[in-house]
């Protein structure tokens, strides 16, 4: 059987041919979407006609889109977050939704530590300073012996904890869905409030859901230490960006390092004007190693499902 597969992800197979090989070796007909401009529902519907399976990035896989694509049987997220996919609509139509859990967490954990050091030592500003012919000594902060507060103790949260323990950090974590007996000895599972009040670095690693949307708002920022830093490599909507801006200009917290935003790219966001903010363009999973692993897993997710089996990770 020759399957028709849509690839609507910017980075699928961009660092190695292996993900493409998986599809080609199975004799698939591959349709590659132009990802240079924003994907609309209408364009997605057009591309998905007569398609059996799709590998997607952050594109609007809505009820409306699925309603107009009767052939679609399986969608694999080229990554982990599926908050842009209407899971209820997919389940109602029997469309399998899969993701690539565990394939990119090491890369995101690495970047999180990188952002922590970057904001604590103000690396981007001093880089600009030296390039501009200047010299100077900004007094930063150490990670050593400080308290890290993790919000969300899944794969990435645990990866960050493991790295932070190497810096002799004290690691607190809040995750209402994790049982204490399943937590490593060096990590203290505590309340949300305790993380907010005691952490020097708060790093977000929770899934985005209606429950977690804007879980960091004005009240939570107010509860944090004035010397604390907020790092978000999870999803932009976990944070109320207006409240974050206010907290940063009023020095309620020391700084923030962000890889993800409410709107991506965050064009025109006032956060980009602040000196105490470090920003990266949603590159958490963008390493050569991770892009290859995720691509292979996404391709296998789609093929396994079409061939009557189960994907590596089935969401619905």
Residues with catalytic function: 235, 264, 282
Which residue in the set 11, 63, 81, 222 belongs to the binding site for ligand NAD (CB under 6 A)?
Answer: 81
> Which of these segments, 17-25, 115-123, 134-142, 154-162, binds ligand NAD (CB under 6 A)?
154-162
Q: Whose Cβ is closer to ligand NAD: residue 81's or residue 270's? A: 81
> Which of these segments, 1-9, 27-35, 78-86, 87-95, binds ligand NAD (CB under 6 A)?
78-86
Q: Whose Cβ is closer to ligand NAD: residue 220's or residue 233's? A: 233
Which residue in the set 285, 291, 299, 315 belongs to the binding site for ligand NAD (CB under 6 A)?
Answer: 285
Note whether 105 and 162 are within 8 A (CB).
no
Indicate whether 152 belongs to the interface with ligand NAD (CB under 6 A): yes
* Residues between 201 and 260 with contacts to ligand NAD, criterion CB under 6 A: 205-208, 211-212, 233-235, 259-260
Indicate whether 104 belongs to the interface with ligand NAD (CB under 6 A): yes
User: For the window 157-196, what string marks contact with ligand NAD as x by the rule CB under 6 A?
Assistant: x----------------xxxxx------------------
Q: Whose Cβ is closer to ligand NAD: residue 172's or residue 208's? A: 208
Indicate whether 58 belongs to the interface with ligand NAD (CB under 6 A): no
Residues found near ligand NAD in the complex (CB under 6 A): 79-81, 101, 104-105, 108, 151-157, 174-178, 205-208, 211-212, 233-235, 259-260, 282, 284-285
């Amino acid at each position: 059987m020759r399957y028709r597969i849509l690839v609507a992800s910017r980075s699928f197979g961009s660092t190695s041919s292996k993900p493409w090989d998986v599809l080609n070796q199975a004799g698939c007909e591959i349709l590659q979407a132009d990802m240079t401009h924003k994907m609309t529902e209408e364009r997605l519907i057009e591309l998905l006609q007569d398609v059996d399976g799709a590998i997607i990035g952050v594109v609007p896989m809505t009820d409306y889109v699925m309603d107009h694509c009767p052939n679609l049987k399986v969608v694999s997220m080229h990554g982990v977050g599926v908050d842009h996919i209407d899971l209820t609509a997919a389940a109602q139509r029997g469309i399998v939704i899969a993701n690539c859990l565990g394939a990119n967490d090491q890369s995101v954990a690495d970047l999180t530590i990188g952002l922590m050091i970057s904001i604590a030592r103000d690396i981007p500003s001093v880089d600009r300073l030296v390039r501009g012919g200047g010299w100077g000594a900004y007094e930063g902060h150490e990670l050593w012996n400080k308290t890290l507060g993790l919000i969300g103790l899944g794969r990435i949260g645990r990866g960050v904890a493991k790295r932070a323990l190497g810096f002799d950090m004290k690691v607190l974590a809040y995750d209402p869905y994790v049982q204490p007996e399943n937590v490593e000895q060096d990590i203290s599972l505590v309340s949300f409030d305790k993380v907010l009040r005691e952490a020097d670095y708060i790093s977000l690693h929770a899934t985005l859901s209606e429950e977690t949307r804007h879980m960091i708002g004005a009240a939570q920022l107010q509860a944090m230490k004035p010397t604390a830093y907020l790092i978000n490599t999870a999803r932009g909507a976990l944070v109320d960006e207006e409240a974050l801006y206010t907290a940063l200009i009023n020095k309620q917290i020391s700084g923030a390092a962000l890889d993800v935003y409410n709107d991506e790219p965050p064009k025109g966001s006032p956060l980009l004007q602040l000196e105490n903010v470090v920003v990266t363009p949603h590159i958490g999973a963008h390493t050569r190693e991770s892009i290859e692993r995720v691509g292979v897993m996404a391709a296998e997710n789609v093929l396994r499902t079409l061939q009557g089996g189960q994907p590596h990770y089935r969401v619905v």
